């Protein structure tokens, strides 16, 4: 076997703090919640989006980082986390769809709505990447996180060409559930921000 023409090993150190890049959301469905897009926490008392972010283009092209955005849960802490996650989703939609946060027009309000979470899967936006430092003495390393979605009111924002998932891919995910709801479906209340 000859590995002379194999690509060189990639550097897996964290991306620079404050990096501005086009990011694509890839949801890793957990077969929980409406449509099966949410994932249940390990102890089962909350659900959220298990998100893989992929950098598109630039110095860190194809680099990935991950996050779990809590959207439903049973404690006050879960509710606070759900509110933070809702704010992040709003900012991602504003960045991807070119809506200023202070725009209250009917068009802007429509751009901040989702029919379901499949609309987030594959969406691209301008993101500011940060670093979450590992605790000293921990076996874990520092990791990248989404610091913020850059919205059109900021100078770093630019319009991003979308490359959304095909409707057939979305339908395929739903069909794997066979239309059945998981046993734990409906055991958490809908968060305040999602009602009305």
Q: How far apart are CA 43 and CA 179, in angstroms?
A: 25
pLDDT value, residue 100: 98
Range of the domain at 35: 19-172
Token pair, residue 95, equals: 């960045």
Cα 147 to Cα 168: distance, rounded to the nearest angstrom: 32
CA angle, 85 as apex, 37 and 106 as ends, to 5°?
90
Largest pairwise CA distance in the chain: 62
pLDDT digit string (tens) for 11-30?
678 999 999 999 999 999 99
Domain presence at residue 81:
yes
Number of domains the chain is built from: 1
Give alpha helix (H) positions in the chain.
76-97, 106-111, 167-176
**Per-residue pLDDT at 163:** 81
136 inside domain: yes
Q: Give tens-digit pLDDT for 132-171.
A: 999 998 898 999 999 999 999 999 999 999 985 534 344 4
Domain annotation covers residue 71 = yes
pLDDT tens-digit series, residues 52-98 = 999 999 999 999 999 999 999 999 999 999 999 999 999 999 999 99
Q: What are phi and psi of 68, to 5 degrees?
A: -120, 115
CA distance 96 to 160: 6
Percentage above 90 pLDDT, the chain: 73
The residue that leads in pLDDT, 194 or 12, is 12
What mean pLDDT is predicted for residues 115-127? 96
Let me know: does 75 contact 91? Beta carbons within 8 Å: no
Q: What is the pLDDT of residue 185?
A: 42
pLDDT of residue 182: 40
According to the model, what pLDDT value does residue 87 have?
98
- Rounded CA-CA distance 158/113 in Å is 21
Task: Note the pLDDT tens digit of each residue in 36-55.
Answer: 999 999 998 999 999 999 99
**pLDDT value at position 35?**
92
For residue 89, is it within any domain? Answer: yes
Q: 146 or 172: whose pLDDT is higher?
A: 146
Tokens describing residue 1 = 């076997």
Please indicate, yes or no, if residue 58 is contained in any of the structural domains. Answer: yes
State the pLDDT at residue 113: 96
CA 66/CA 52 separation, integer angstroms: 5
Q: What is the pTM of this model?
A: 0.79
In a domain, 25, yes or no: yes
Residue 194 lies in a domain: no
- Does 102 reside within a domain? yes
Beta-strand ranges (E) seen in the chain are: 19-27, 39-40, 46-56, 64-73, 124-132, 143-149
């Amino acid at each position: 076997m000859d590995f002379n023409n194999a690509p060189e090993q990639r550097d897996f150190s964290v991306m620079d703090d404050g990096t501005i890049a086009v990011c694509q959301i890839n949801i890793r469905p957990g077969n929980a919640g409406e449509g099966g897009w949410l994932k249940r926490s390990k102890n089962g008392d909350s659900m959220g989006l298990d998100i893989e972010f992929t950098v598109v283009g630039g110095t860190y092209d194809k680099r990935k980082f991950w996050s779990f955005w809590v959207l439903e849960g049973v404690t006050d802490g879960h509710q606070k986390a759900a509110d933070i996650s809702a704010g992040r989703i709003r900012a991602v939609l504003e960045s991807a769809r070119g809506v200023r946060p202070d725009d209250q027009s009917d068009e802007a309000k429509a751009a901040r709505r989702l029919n379901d979470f499949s609309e987030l899967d594959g969406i691209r936006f301008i993101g500011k990447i940060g670093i979450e430092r590992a605790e000293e003495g921990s076996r874990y390393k520092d990791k990248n996180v989404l610091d913020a979605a850059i919205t059109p009111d900021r100078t770093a924002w630019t319009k991003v060409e979308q490359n959304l998932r095909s409707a057939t891919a979305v339908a395929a995910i739903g069909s794997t559930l066979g239309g059945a709801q998981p046993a734990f479906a409906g055991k958490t209340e809908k968060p305040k921000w999602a009602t009305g």
